Each structure stands twice: as structure tokens, then as C-alpha cells.
Amino acid sequence: MTTKFHGNENVACEAHEPDFLQCVEGFFDQAAAVCGVKKSTLSAIRGIDAVLSVTFPIERENGETEIVRGYRAQHSRHKLPVKGGIRYAKDVDMHEVEALASLMTYKCAVVDVPFGGAKGGVAINPREYTVGELERITRRFALELCQKNFLGPGVDVPAPDVNTGGREMTWIMDTYRQLNPTDINAPGCITGKPINQGGVRGRTEATGLGVYYSTREFLKFEQVQKVTGLTGDIEGKTVSLQGFGNVSFYAAKFFIANGAKVVAVSDSKFCAYNKDGLDIEKLGKYKAEHGSLKGYPDAEITEGSTKALEVECDILVPSALERQIGLKNVHNIKAKIINEGANGPITPAAHEILVQKGVVIVPDLLANAGGVCVSYFEWLKNVSHVRFGRMNRKWEEQGKERLLALVEEQAGRKLSESERQQVIHGAEEHELVYSGLEDTMIKACEETRITAEEFGDIDYRKAAIANAIRKIASCLEGTGVMFASRG
């Protein structure tokens, strides 16, 4: 068994706990045992469809040559394109991207995004390279993906993940475009692009927003209120987040905007705690200026990335890396709800203990699906070549104007300009994206609740995976791929 540590030591997991891929497969097996899908279909779903492992040389600015390793795993091609982020991390390996690719398949199914699952990684610490070197590495990796048919708007569509963002996505798209100059759908070969490169408004904050929506929806469930003793709204709840990157920053912002108090966040080295609530924008600016949370004046700063997991709070959002809550620290967790902003932050043994204790876990494949959901919207925008709202916004406003005129005539009163604007305002792109995401998350949470009730417990991970398996099975069997009539 391989046990991989992020950083010098893994402070969360015992040595005998499974690695990330084994964790994902273990969770799959638990759900598979109760979902009522036949064995042959289950094996077809569980296996990884295709993998790519490449090495390539890049020239450093000091003139030396370095060999870089990159990976891509396509877990399930039952729907195309496959979809999934690319992360840059020194210790990324094939097992890790296979685990993440598997999760991505189930995630897409849970939120009804019609894609298969994939994931990629490049084994570098980006902080050790100049921007020019990073560009060369990214373009070279994109070239490898193109040559092996692991990149393209109808084939495989990556997105940002840990340590990657709009800049890397643009380099990848540009490389694809240079190799495929006649493909008018080229911008759809990648998502998470800046707006001026064909991105969609709302993608940057989508995963954090989805984390907020899914927590809000779970709090409304009677069963969740019963086991946690929490009231049904976000207002006044205390929140702690591990990680201070894309997912946690935006999740924190949405929690605060809706009346919650963010009492702690941590990055890879330090934890900032303030029982009266952190000013997340101010903390973000401080980190950008100083490169660290160390020395921030308006919070208690302690060393250690896992501190934020253990503080007193209602809602915990692990949003850094996998395997951060394991047998070594599970008994220190005080939160009543855990929303998995990160992929795979809890090991199976720790998960079992938490569920037995009555802690409600909103599982990764549901909790952080906001990103892939809005990536799907971005892809739709790219392949339809039009901004959302462009064709109908004015038409809707004119229709509402006409209706208002009739109502005003009947009521004998004119609306004020601000009342009028509220009624007639046609949706902008980001409003449509937010609304599509909210609708998707509400539906996926509700489906998960119903499936959990079917099984008679509060293990929402099992419920979400079972729900995903059933949807993928019906797709495979429906196409005849799985020869549905044979047992």
C-alpha cells in the first residue's frame, strides 16, 4: 500500500489508512453494495478507462535541462467530452489523478453535467519556476495532451485545480488552437479561462458559491437539524475553512455575505483565528502583500495547516487537499456539519467515526460540484459562440415593459424608476450562471437527501455516490454498451 504525505508528515492519517485512490474506491464499493446495480455494470463504472503518463524536457533559465512528469487520467468516457482539472503539485502521481478522475465522473453525474470524468497533474512546485518556465512547461504538457488525443472540445476538457488558474488555462487553449487552426470550437477545449479569452462570468467563484449553496440546502433538511441540533439558516453560524485558495476564499465570502461568521482559515503553514469573525477581504490582501498569514494583526495566528480543522465551529469546510481528516485527528473535530470543498479530505475510517457521532458530511462530489457545473456553462457558451443573455435580454425587458404599462393603466398608479428597474431588469450573464448553479445545487442536494432516506441513514456520501452510479449505469445500459439483458 502506498501512503503519500503532503508536506513533511501527514498529521491526519495513520500509516495503515488507505491512499487517496483506495479511499475513493472504498467509498464507491460501499455505495455499490446498496445501489441495486448489477455487478458487471459496477465493474465497468469503477475502472479507469484511459491514462496518459508523459515526461518531457524543459530548459530552465539558468541553462540547465529538467525532465518534467505529467499525468492525465480519463476515468469514464460514457459521456464525452471528459472533464476535470489540472493541478500542479510536486508529489502528484498517477494514483492521485486516477482518484480525482473517478470522483469527477461521479460528480458530473450527481449534478447532471453530461460529461465523463478526468483529471490531470504536473509534478512540479510552481513556486520554484519563473513565469516563463511555467509557460514552457504548460505549453509542452498541452502539446503532449493534444498529440495523444487527450485534449479537445469534444474529447477532454481540463479546468483549473490546485495551483493552476486562468493563466495556465489560456496557455493550454492557445497551444491547442495553434495545432488546430480550423477548429472554431477551440476555446471549448478548456474551461476556467479569463473572460477575455472566452471564459464565463461566475466561473472563478463557482466552487465556493456551490459550497455555500449546498451547506444552505443541507441546513434546511429536518434530519440534518435533528442530528446536529442546528437551526435551518446560515445567519449566525460559525464557519472554519482549511485552505486559503480559490475554493475557500469565495466560500468564506458567500458565508459572510449571508450572515455567517468565519472564525478561522488556514493556508499550508498558518491558521488565522478570531472568535468574533475574520475580515476575509482584508486577510486576502494581507496574504497577497506578505505572502503569508504570519503577522496578521486582527487574528490569533498559529502555526500548522490542520489547526482550522479542529476549532470550535458549526460548519467546517476542508478546502485544501485530500486526506486531511484521518484517524490521527478525527477525534479533535468539533464541527456539526462538514462541507467538503476539497476532494477527498476525509479518510473512510474517519468518515465512519464522524457519521456515527452524528456529524453531517456534505460529500465532495456534491459539495464542490459548483466548479464543474459552471465549467459546463462555459463550454456551452464556447460551443454556441454567444454570451448568455445576448439574444433574449432586451426582448424580455421589452415584454415586461409592455406588461407593466398595462398593469399601471389598470392600477391607476405609475411605478417609481427603481421599482420599474427591479421588475423589468433582464438577466446578465453572471446572473444566469448563478441562477443555473443554484438550481442545479438545490436539485442535487434534494436527490441526495431522498436517496439517503431510502437507505435509512445520514451517510450522504453513500447516497450521492449511489445516485451517481444509478445514473451512469442507466446511461451505459441504455446505449447497449453493457448488454443490459445479460446478467
Residue ranges in contact with ligand NAD by CB under 6 A: 6-7, 160-163, 207, 243-247, 267-268, 305, 319-321, 341-343, 368, 371
Contact assessment for residue 361 and residue 262, using Cβ atoms and an 8 Å cutoff: no
Give the span between the Cα atoms of 304 and 271, in whole angstroms: 6
Q: What's the closest the beta carbon of residue 193 comes to ligand NAD, in angstroms?
A: 13
User: To the nearest whole angstrom, how small is the minimum distance from the Cβ of residue 368 to ligand NAD?
Assistant: 4
Is 119 one of the catalytic residues? yes
Residue closer to ligand NAD, measured from CB, 263 or 271: 271
Q: Based on CB atoms, which residue is closest to ligand NAD, 244 or 460?
A: 244
| Distance in Å, CB of 159 to ligand NAD, minimum | 7
Instruction: Tell me: is residue 8 an annotated ligand-binding position.
Output: no
The residues, ordered by sequence, that sit 6+ positions from 60 with a Cβ below 8 Å of its Cβ are 66, 129, 133
Q: Which CB sits closer to ligand NAD, 102 or 163?
A: 163
Choice between 52 and 209, CB closer to ligand NAD: 209
163 is in an annotated binding site: no
Q: Least distance (Å) from ligand NAD to the CB of residue 255?
A: 15
**Least distance to ligand NAD from the beta carbon of 322, Å?**
6
- Closest CB to ligand NAD among residues 153, 243: 243
* Cβ proximity of 365 and 464 under 8 Å: yes
Amino acid at 426: G
Least separation in angstroms between CB 243 and ligand NAD: 4
| Residue 485 is assigned to a ligand binding site | no
Residue 370: name the closest of 150, 165, 107 by CA: 107
One-letter identity of residue 159 = A
Q: Is residue 357 part of an annotated ligand binding site?
A: no
State yes or no: 240 annotated in a binding site: no
Which residue in 38, 39, 90, 119 is the catalytic one? 119
252 versus 354: smaller Cβ distance to ligand NAD:
252
Q: Which residue is nearest to ligand NAD (CB)?
A: 245
CB of 409 to ligand NAD, least distance (A): 49
Q: 326-329: long-range contacts at Cβ-Cβ below 8 A with a sequence spacing of 24 or more?
A: 326/10, 326/12, 326/13, 326/14, 326/17, 326/350, 327/13, 327/14, 327/17, 328/11, 328/12, 328/13, 328/14, 329/11, 329/12
Nearer to ligand NAD, 37 or 273 (CB): 273
Q: How far apart are CA 115 and CA 42, in angstroms?
A: 18
Pick the closer one to ligand NAD by CB: 7 or 114: 7
How distant is the alpha carbon of residue 97 from its chain centre? 14
Please enumerate, by residue number, every residue annotated as part of a binding site for NAD(+).
Answer: 207, 246
Please enumerate, by residue number, every residue annotated as part of a binding site for substrate.
Answer: 83, 107, 375
Residues annotated catalytic, as ranges: 119
